[in-house]
Amino acid sequence: MANAIYPKAKESLLKGELDLEDNTIKVVLVDTGTYTYNAAHDFYNDLSGVLGSGVALSSKTVALGVFDAADVTFTTPTSGTSIEALVIYKDTGNVATSNLIAYIDAGTGLPFTTNGADIDIVWDSGSNKIFAI
């Protein structure tokens, strides 16, 4: 699988229903041995293989079709878990209504195995940042 924006998120973005800058947007670590990307998935409750809790993105920007945010840190995740992907989602406080936005499994440092130390996610500093549409 390659990086993808979930189709329902594309629809919500195009309809103006999903505001990446003003909504609470989070990222989670995902073990693809448990979760497989599916274009029909639309909400957080479709995910499995999630390690820990989501980390909120800060300093979010949208400019010229590019979404970016400050780098994030996952603090002391469980050791020994294989992480092959990141999933970005809008957190509504309810897993049945928290929209999946992007699936990222291709990037520097992916995959990796957790060792109990903090995990820093450094977004692309090039033209794509987190993702571009």
Size of the chain in residues? 133
pLDDT one-digit tens code per residue, 101-125: 999 998 888 889 888 899 999 998 7
The one-letter amino acid code at 97 reads: T
pLDDT one-digit tens code per residue, 50-106: 998 999 999 999 999 999 999 999 997 888 888 999 999 999 999 999 999 999 998
Q: How far is CA 29 from the centre of its chain?
A: 8
By CB atoms closer than 10 A (0-12, 13-18, 19+), residue 29 is buried
Among candidate residues 11, 10, 25, the one with its CA nearest the CA of residue 123:
25
CA distances for 12 relative to 18, 65, 88, 95, angstroms? 5, 14, 14, 17
